[in-house]
């Protein structure tokens, strides 16, 4: 240890250790919730560096110290959250599901929430009025209506004024009727693209000037079906894949202004996106009326009519606990270095890895096996 203290490398090692310690203490002070986590990952490089210096000498200790410091810096940058303060966030599709739960969650954390709803007098909006604080503002916002998007922008900009808007969460989306791509009418493809993609793009483009002021966050709610091909989700998956690609491009282009962009690819969660039985009947009728006679014969009447049963079973395969999705969105909004892609939920990351790193024939076999298993289980219920 005497040799360490007397060598220039030793002094450099201790100086950098002290600098890192002061920096991390400052970070811990700003983030009291993460204080223990920050301090552990701050002390680790110093302790390992000093131990290595005693065993390997000053040069070896400095190398170990730098390597562990780099790892700690990357880890802390992803785990430490910025303070909520008076940050304002716009959420689309807050009537039900993830958007509704997120509005409550962020309001409870102290955010200024602008909750866009399709029905301003609907039960979802009424519940938000009843249960949330005065910080939350409800906005009539059909994201496919350019006039309503512009009116929402004027209302939000009037409230946030010079501080800008910290975050936009493009959550609003529709599933429509899951069926084989050949069976789906073109109106289904157009509806999915209009809401899930064009609506999100319209909102993003409109509110980006406010995000630029705050160097804020753009968070797009895509889907596991937007990253991997899944049978019966041709229309929905294509629209979500377009949204994911849009997110990636915007992440690159908006970085010059300090705006960070993230896409969320959750697996199955119970959000109510599949709609109501009345809607299913309407969509099934539309599907049947648009089918050519030879296509109907090739697929078979029983198979086509059984698609509604598949739609009705979707919630049984989904997780009712939305907390993994809410935590991912919060991290995307507040992390110093947020991820570009989040995959909350069971199986989301695993299926993405199989699709990306395994031969396509294996992925197709794996998915077809899963589909056959789920159909067999449903017949036994």
Looking at the DSSP assignment, which residues form a beta bridge with residue 114?
Answer: 90, 137
Poorest-pLDDT segment among 27-31, 255-259, 354-358: 27-31
- 140-168 confidence digits (pLDDT tens): 999 999 999 999 999 999 999 888 899 99
Q: Residue 66: its pLDDT value, please?
A: 59
Burial class (CB in 10 A: 0-12, 13-18, 19+), 321: exposed
Nearest of 109, 118, 66, 112 to residue 89 by alpha carbon: 112
Token pair 């084989």 in the structure block, residue: 180
- Answer left, alpha or beta for residue 189, where phi above 0 means left and psi between -120 and 50 means alpha: alpha
Task: Output the pTM of the full model.
Answer: 0.78
The residues assigned a catalytic role are: 236
Q: Is the pLDDT of residue 69 over 70?
A: no
E strand residue ranges, the chain: 88-91, 112-117, 137-140, 167-170, 217-221, 260-264, 341-342
- pLDDT band for position 305 (cuts 50, 70, 90): confident
Token pair 């019966």 in the structure block, residue: 232
Q: Residue 91: its pLDDT value, please?
A: 98
Q: Are 177 and 233 in contact (CB under 8 A)?
A: no
């Amino acid at each position: 240890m005497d040799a360490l203290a007397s060598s220039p490398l030793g002094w450099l090692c201790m100086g950098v250790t002290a600098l890192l310690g002061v920096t991390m203490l400052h970070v811990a002070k700003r983030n009291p919730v993460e204080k223990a986590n920050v301090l552990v990952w701050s002390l680790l490089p110093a302790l390992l560096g000093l131990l290595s210096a005693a065993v390997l000498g000053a040069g070896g200790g400095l190398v170990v110290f730098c390597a562990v410091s780099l790892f700690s810096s990357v880890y802390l940058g992803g785990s430490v959250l910025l303070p909520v303060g008076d940050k304002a966030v716009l959420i689309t599709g807050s009537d039900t599901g993830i958007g509704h739960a997120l509005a409550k969650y962020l309001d409870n954390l102290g955010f200024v929430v602008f909750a866009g709803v399709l029905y301003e007098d609907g039960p979802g909006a009424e519940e938000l009025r009843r249960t949330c604080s005065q910080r939350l503002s409800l906005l009539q916002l059909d994201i496919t209506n350019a006039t309503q998007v512009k009116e929402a922008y004027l209302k939000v900009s009037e409230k946030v004024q010079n501080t800008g808007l910290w975050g936009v969460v493009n959550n609003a989306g529709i599933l429509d009727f899951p069926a084989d791509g050949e069976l789906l009418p073109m109106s289904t493809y157009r509806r999915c693209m209009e809401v899930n993609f064009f609506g999100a793009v319209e909102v993003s483009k409109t509110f980006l000037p406010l995000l630029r002021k705050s160097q804020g966050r753009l968070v797009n709610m895509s889907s596991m079906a937007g990253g991997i091909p899944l049978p019966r989700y041709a229309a929905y998956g294509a629209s979500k894949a377009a949204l994911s690609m849009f997110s990636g491009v915007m992440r690159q282009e908006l970085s010059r202004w300090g705006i960070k962009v993230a896409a969320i690819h959750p697996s199955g969660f119970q959000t109510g996106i599949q709609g109501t039985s009345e809607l299913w009947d309407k969509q099934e009728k539309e599907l049947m009326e648009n089918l050519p006679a030879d296509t109907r014969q090739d697929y078979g009447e029983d198979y086509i009519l059984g698609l509604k049963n598949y739609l009705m079973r979707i919630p049984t395969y989904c997780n009712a606990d939305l907390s993994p999705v809410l935590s991912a969105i919060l991290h995307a909004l507040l992390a110093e270095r947020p991820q570009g892609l989040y995959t909350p939920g069971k199986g989301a990351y695993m299926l993405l890895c199989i699709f990306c790193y395994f031969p396509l024939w294996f992925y197709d076999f794996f998915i077809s096996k899963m589909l056959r298993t789920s159909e067999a289980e449903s017949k036994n219920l």
